[in-house]
Amino acid sequence: MVNRLSKYKDLFFIFVWRELLIRYKQTAIGVLWALIQPLSMMVLFVIVFGHVLNINTNGYPRSLFYFAGLVPWTLFSASVNASINSLTDHRDLITKIYFPRELIIFSKVSVFVVDFLISGMLLAVMLCFYNIGMCQ
């Protein structure tokens, strides 16, 4: 499978580039959307689970606790949702030419990996701010 996909690596990079342009050019704030979305969910979780339901976080700061859970969950959830629709969204392209169909799915998921990396950097900053883990 890897050998078959390696023959189409240029097409894969074109698909990824196209998906990144579509994702970030359609928003007025661009790449900041990758930070605003998980931060807004973190604020919502802190309010609902932290203050309304008073969930115990074992001494960790609530914002860090919820953000650390949201970062990988957002990658998983968005990747699964995008993968489900990716083949039907590109039906015309698939029926016209031959290429490995996995390229479309991998290109969709790679956009969310970029979001994950951006959010992961913010998580690392938050860990250093709270002096937890790698920043002790």
pLDDT in tens, 17-56: 988 888 777 666 777 877 888 889 999 999 998 888 888 8
pLDDT in tens, 99-125: 888 888 888 899 899 989 999 999 999
| CA 98/CA 131 separation, integer angstroms | 52
pTM: 0.83
Domain spans in the chain, listed from the N-terminal domain onward? 2-135
- Nearest in space to 9 (alpha carbons), one of 85, 99, 95, 90: 99
Q: In this structure, what token pair is assigned to residue 91?
A: 């039906």
